[in-house]
Amino acid sequence: MIVIGCDHGGLELKQTLITYLTSIGEGVTDCGTYNSDSVDYPDIAEKTCKRYLDGGYDFGILICGTGIGISMAANKIDGIRCALVGTEYAAEMTKRHNDANFLAFGGRVMGPELAISVLKAYMNAEFEGGRHQKRIDKIHALEAQEETE
């Protein structure tokens, strides 16, 4: 099960990814937006990430115009490791080494074919653990440090 959300700049790409995911049998929860009216990407990031953290999802997808703002907002939420990816290699490595639980895409900068190819690369990769888990633990320690300051 995958959770997905976008602002107005990512609406078209979101629909493409939902169509692809459902065509391969994946369940998808759509957290909006649902039309082209302007919305603030931090609100969509928060809503979608909190839905993911409630449990039951394999990973999440966030989309804004460039993917930059929505990924920055998502990474402010404890437990979220959102990677803005632009290539199949980056998507594969963010799963293998960073165990990213969210992908971010730029709806105005990435075409639908590449987005699907990048998504496939992420979905086909497995987290390697080992030395990479140690690094993820350090990311979590940074989150905890922010809370105590």
Q: What are the structural domain ranges in the chain?
A: 2-148
- Is 97 a known active-site residue? yes
pTM above 0.75, yes or no: yes
Query: What pLDDT score was predicted for residue 86?
Result: 95
Which helix or strand (DSSP H or E) is residue 62 part of? strand 59-64
Residues of the chain with pLDDT under 70: 146-149
For residue 134, the number of C-alpha atoms closer than 13 Å in the C-beta half-sphere is 2
Query: What pLDDT score was predicted for residue 149?
Result: 63
CB 105 within 8 Å of CB 63: yes
Query: What pLDDT score was predicted for residue 147?
Result: 64
Catalytic one among 31, 97, 132, 140?
Answer: 97
Catalytic one among 6, 64, 82, 140?
Answer: 64
Query: What pLDDT score was predicted for residue 146?
Result: 62
Under CATH, which architecture does the 2-148 domain have? 3-Layer(aba) Sandwich (3.40)
d(CA 14, CA 48): 13
- Is 64 a known active-site residue? yes
Query: What pLDDT score was predicted for residue 144?
Result: 78
Pairing of strands 2-6, 59-64: parallel
* Residue whose entry in the numeric block shows the structure tokens 């940074």: 142
d(CA 118, CA 105): 10
